[in-house]
A and B are shown apart, each in its own frame.
Chain A
């Protein structure tokens, strides 16, 4: 197999270029063009006015986690500890207990994610055999004035709805 070779022409050795001034003025013409365009009509700038205009979040985006449920409202998680074992930053802590709703034998009685530790890598989602943990809430900004409220417990994780339809989520191609 031959390697594709692209020979780049080395710039800057001609007399005109060595004079600097000509090239400097050409550069200044370019930047002034941009300056003048925005000065005359500042709606042409490539800016999102962030707090008011939110960015568009795609289904592939790894946002804050949530725990999914079966259609009858019982949680899918079976406390297999896959996500906790996989987590590179040790932010998930699970305590397993006996399951009483008949879906399986185990379920978590405590499921906490410390979002200050989490690096949003998505390994927990990939590891989960039950599709019980997802990062499809579309929440990208978690702020708080105290540490304890950033550790999300089971109730909050279960209560957060997903931001996308089931079809869109399946199409994200992971």
Chain B
């Protein structure tokens, strides 16, 4: 192994480990501010460090400090302390590990060697994801059972029944998807979606499998235990469900695990149905060939976007009551300066790309960075959809949940397999 090989391994593992953890902060922030905005409130916006609130992101730090320093207690009636402690670890760990197979950029070719941009370059791809998310529910069941609490048990039971009901449609939706793509390798699935249908429509899963998208997304919502399927927690019915006996960072692990699971399932939805890292109409080879025009377009777009973004900051980062020497305006000035400095730095990098004709390797790295940005943007939007749905829909009734799973989604996914197979056979 050369040094470059080792560096690439480190970079990929770092990406796979840190991006989901970073997205916890972004997810929690998006959830709380998003909930606020949807309900015509503002959400948490007071926490600050030296007056800098970062749009409410500092609140996450405060929450983290609170969770870590709370008393970490195990109730006296709990007999199986090992399983009790193991449960949150399982939930968090499986959620984090399932991100490992998701490709975040096309294969990087450096000096004739190709590097698959996955944390763990496995061929089994989607099966790994199914196995890991399926295992996450064991954590929830274990937590419910070892809590030795009726609400905990109910939460665990509900979660188990729900997962059985929704894993099947999810698996079947994936089967019909595999019929289309002809592979379980997520890198190849993402590459497949870079093609064009009839020469002008991006060949994304959402266009090839419209029914499959609906089934998969509904099942993925159920899989991550989020509203309208948050039966395991069921705050208004069974208090807090499976994590009722947990406090401090053990509760924190469940909480963080939920957001990691949300990000990972957004990532898998994006990879399977929304083209993964693909930028529509710009396949990898096209981007490599036209790197300089793309860089010029980006250079022109960036100041415009920054201009509107800074205007938005200027308009919204003010106090809504009479206040002398408004500190929020001062804060906004700093943010706007940072925005322009960042924009200038990116412009400079793009300029070097345009002026000095870079080597093939440089162009490849540029393309990979663009694809990573595209992937993260799509995943963020999908995370927002999770938040958006949570604050729109109330929880289902339990029998409605089972009815939807067994009587609607299951037959629909079977029909979907038949139709897909028929079309694929007819076309080939």
Contact = CB atoms under 8 A, between A and B. Distances in A.
Contacts of B251: none
A46 B392 contact: no
B38 A35 contact: yes
A41 B39 contact: no
A130 interface: no
B388 A34 contact: no
A49 B319 contact: yes
Given A34-B37, A35-B37, A52-B323, A45 B42 contact: yes
Given A31-B391, A35-B37, A38-B41, 10 more contacts: A20-B404, A24-B389, A27-B392, A34-B38, A34-B39, A35-B34, A42-B320, A45-B41, A47-B320, A52-B319
B217 to A, nearest CB: 11
Contacts, number: 61
Nearest to B391: A31
B316 interface: yes
Contact of A34 (B40, B312, B320, B321): B40
B393 interface: yes
23 contacts: A20-B404, A24-B389, A24-B393, A28-B389, A28-B392, A31-B38, A31-B388, A32-B38, A34-B38, A34-B39, A38-B37, A38-B41, A38-B42, A39-B37, A42-B42, A45-B37, A45-B41, A45-B42, A47-B41, A49-B319, A49-B320, A52-B319, A53-B321
Interface of B: 34, 36-42, 214, 312, 315-316, 318-321, 323, 388-389, 391-393, 404
Given A24-B393, A31-B38, A34-B37, A49 B388 contact: no
Closest 4 CB pairs of A and B: A38-B37, A31-B392, A35-B37, A31-B38
Contacts of A141: none
Nearest to B317: A42
Given A39-B37, A42-B42, A53-B321, A32 B388 contact: yes
Contacts of B315: 41
A46 B38 CA distance: 12
Contacts of B39: 34
B38 A45 contact: no
A135 to B, nearest CB: 28
A174 interface: no
Interface residues of A, number: 24
Contacts of A32: 38, 388
A34 B316 CA distance: 16
Contacts of A52: 319, 321, 323
Contacts of B40: 34, 37-38, 44-47
Nearest to A43: B320
A21 interface: yes
Interface in A100-123: none
Given A21-B214, A35-B34, A35-B388, A47 B42 contact: yes
A152 to B, nearest CB: 31
User: Which of A24, A38, A40 has most chain B Cβ within 10 Å?
Assistant: A38
